[in-house]
């Protein structure tokens, strides 16, 4: 979830989606079931892939993120709504959201020429010589 291929490292805005899911989970209407369903599916999907033996989950090649979780993005976008509503009235929080969005937009832009390139964090850490997978 964090690190050079982490969902939250590359698109920190998704952290706020989980806050939104928490808001929806406390609702007394159908939003509660939406939130609980998304959370349950995310935990099951993430657990399945993380608990696989390493040789089995190393799918080879490269990807610009944890691709097994990409299909949750539409659900997470819907979960951002209550947080966006709340943040709209707080200038400091809007700036935080803009920064989180900008990091995610940069992550997307970095991989546009070749979607099978390593994420920018991986390349930057390699350049800094913090990691070496050669």
First to last CA, the chain: 23
pTM value is 0.82
Handedness of CA 94, 98, 99, 100 (dihedral sign): positive
The reply to whether 134 falls in a domain is no
**pLDDT tens for each residue of 65-119:** 777 888 899 999 999 999 999 999 999 999 999 999 999 999 989 988 887 788 8
Per the structure, the count of domains in the chain is 1
The reply to whether 115 falls in a domain is yes
Cα Dmax for the chain: 53
Range of the domain at 49: 7-127
The reply to whether 132 falls in a domain is no
* Tokens representing residue 101 in the block: 């969005």
Angle between helix 13-25 and 91-110 (nearest 10)? 120
**pLDDT tens for each residue of 45-54:** 989 988 988 7
The reply to whether 48 falls in a domain is yes
Average pLDDT over the chain reads 89
The reply to whether 15 falls in a domain is yes
**Alpha carbons 125 and 131: distance in angstroms, whole number:** 6
pLDDT at 97: 95
The reply to whether 2 falls in a domain is no
The reply to whether 107 falls in a domain is yes
């Amino acid at each position: 979830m964090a690190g050079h291929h982490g969902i939250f490292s590359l698109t920190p805005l998704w952290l706020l989606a989980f806050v939104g899911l928490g808001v929806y989970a406390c609702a007394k209407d159908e939003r509660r079931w939406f939130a609980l369903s998304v959370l349950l599916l995310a935990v099951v999907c993430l657990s399945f892939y993380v608990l696989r033996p390493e040789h089995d989950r190393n799918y080879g090649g490269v990807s610009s993120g944890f691709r097994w979780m990409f299909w949750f993005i539409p659900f997470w976008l819907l979960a951002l709504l209550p947080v966006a509503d709340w943040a709209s009235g707080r200038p400091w929080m809007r700036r935080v959201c803009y920064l989180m969005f900008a990091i995610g937009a940069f992550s997307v832009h970095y991989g546009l020429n070749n979607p099978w390139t390593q994420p920018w964090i991986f390349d930057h850490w390699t350049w800094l010589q913090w990691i070496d997978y050669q």
